[in-house]
Structure 1
């Protein structure tokens, strides 16, 4: 299927205002760019509102934002631990505020958005340490947040989906928190190999090669093994026993092939998977509901899938 006309128009507009210098962008430039892009997120007046708090982590307190879809009901609801995207360098509680509020509302979960440490100030594995600590906290202290820890989802978008996949793999390996489902949206899952989609969409498809290389250079200490499953979850050797997976990829996303391959490996290992590769869409499309009608629909669909995975 061809590139969606509205997505194509967005890419043309972005190319028109992009700097001529395509050398490595700074971390600050990437943070500003993501913040501007996320202004196109779906605005939903009926969405859940968030309350900020902190939880303990190895590197100090970790900020989080708790979204309550039930208007402060005393009922314990399923929990959704969410990690924002941004290449481990950009993104924040604020950039993903509308996305998290919408997902809390559509899924019926109390959603905990985690403000994990970012590179280059905090290199690998700081973000993973925070993701693991946050998931453990919600699992152990969920009652204090109005969460039923027996119905726990872990998820994220882009690099946040990397963290979600790693948390699920480590939880399985280390007998960690019980996770019912993982939700991976446009996931980044393999830096050890260059897939055909990474080559085909390396330029002019929102997330370009220069940005990916800059993110990786800022995130990883020199000499880090790219095949480490904590960096490339697709390179794990064990998939059997992982939580039910909800995976959304996009046809014109550089990360398409690795997300599709991850879904395939899970299915081959006997894991229940709901996977959709969205025709005509680009990376991060789900976060552009103000422009792309398909983005508005996918957040509703993800909510329905999570409800099914939780037996609701």
Structure 2
């Protein structure tokens, strides 16, 4: 087992002292309250930004709530590049508020627009509801770009954990023309295979914020029908081909049951001709980006993410989006 960063050690000690019930032992509503309270306790005060707007994207199932952030110091009359962000939480937990700090920080670091998507959650809305909402949100942003103050030629899609799963799916859909194609996919410790068979699920069974048992709880709620778990829209690693998808940034953490499957996904993207930036943090754990009050590495990672996305957008602005031919 790789060594743990001292900040993660302190985080785990705090969680043990709190004697909190594992999320998988709670009904979804109670787990949501616990998760949101944890995010509030573990994140610093929110950064000020230039603008926040609450919006809604139309979809056949009803409006999808969105929140738009423009980075501090950006001009109000300039069309900004935009990251469509999908929050984590196992498709069961989380919302716009749980990831507000992350989206504000990214908007400021990128000097761009971030649009956070409040997709429907399981078990009330199982697969493929979250995928449908994510697709509706991305399509809305591209179609209404001028009114939103967004440059449609410089879009990216990203998310953490379950949100990384949805971002990878949108990248595949963009390649196939189902939704607008983006300049980049930002996959932050993503879930990419609902089969839960990688080595991490044998290795991480207790003592971490996310364990094999927690992931099984999430998957059982999100994709209760076993056949759905092999659908590439639920498990993008099972797509027949990843070639032609947007250039990728893939973040993995050593103390995370999703680590091995995400690293394999990054290697496969690379083999199939997709430009990949892979960042592996062997001493970190799942969920660190929403634990920045205690885990200092989180802020550093967000700087790295922001610079990688800015670079990709600059390549697009210079003529072409840097996609494989």
Q: Same fold (TM over 0.5)?
A: yes
Partner of residue 124 from structure 1, selected from 98, 122, 127: 127
2:216 is the counterpart of 1:174: no
| 1:58 matches 2:31 | no
Structure 2's unaligned 5+ residue stretches are 316-325
Displacement of 1:293 after TM fit?
1.3
Say whether the 8 Å CA contact 2:43–2:291 is kept in structure 1. Answer: yes
Asked whether the 8 Å contact 1:107–1:306 carries over to 2, the reply is yes
Aligned residues: CA RMSD: 1.8
1:4 aligned residue? 5
Match of 2:82 in 1: 79
In the alignment, which residue of structure 2 is the partner of 1:37? 38
| Contact 1:195-1:257 within 8 A present in 2 as well | yes
Contact 2:92 2:218 in 1 (8 A): yes
SS at match of 2:136: helix
The alignment status of 1:110 with 2:74, answered yes or no, reads no
Q: Which moved more, 1:250-259 or 1:64-73?
A: 64-73
Please state how far the C-alpha of 1:36 moved relative to its aligned partner: 2.3
Q: Kindly indicate whether the alpha-carbon contact (under 8 Å) linking 1:164 and 1:184 is maintained by their aligned counterparts in 2.
A: yes
Q: Is the Cα–Cα contact under 8 Å of residues 47 and 105 in structure 1 kept in the other structure?
A: yes
Residues 49, 12 of structure 1: CA spacing in aligned structure 2 closer, same or farther, 3 A cutoff?
A: farther
Report the equivalent of 2:159.
156
Distance 2:242 2:44 in 1: 34
For 1:254 and 1:21, the matched residues in 2 are separated by: 16
- SS of equivalent to 1:226: helix
SS at structure 2 position matched to 1:225: helix
Given that 1:185 and 1:248 are in contact with CA atoms closer than 8 Å, whether structure 2 keeps it comes out as: yes
**Segment of structure 1 superposing worse, 255-264 or 222-231:** 222-231
Shift in Å, 1:19: 4.9
Structure 2 partner of 1:233:
236
Distance 2:66 2:236 in 1: 24
CA distance in 2, matches of 1:223, 1:302: 34
Q: Following TM superposition, by how much is the alpha carbon of 1:71 offset from its aligned partner in structure 2, in angstroms?
A: 4.6
Going from structure 1 to structure 2, the CA distance change for 1:244 and 1:27 (only over 3 Å counts) comes to same
Question: C-alpha separation between the residues in 1 aligned to 2:304 and 2:50?
Answer: 17
1:186 alignment partner, one of 183, 186, 189: 189
Tell me by how many angstroms 1:176 deviates.
Answer: 3.0
Unaligned runs of 5+ in 1: none
Q: Note if 1:89 corresponds to 2:99.
A: no
Worse overlay, 281-290 or 211-220: 211-220
Q: CA deviation at 1:243?
A: 0.3
What SS class does the counterpart of residue 202 from structure 1 fall into? Answer: coil
Q: Which runs of 4+ in 1 moved over 6 A?
A: 20-23
Q: Does structure 1 conserve the Cα–Cα contact (< 8 Å) formed by 2:248 and 2:274? A: yes
Alignment check: 8 A CA contact 1:186 1:250 kept = yes
8 Å Cα contact 1:42-1:296 kept in structure 2: no
Structure 1 residues 231 and 23, CA gap change in structure 2 (3 angstroms): closer
Q: Are residues 221 and 310 of structure 1, via their aligned partners in 2, closer, same or farther at CA, if it must alter by over 3 Å?
A: same
Taking structure 2 as the reference length, the TM-score comes to 0.91
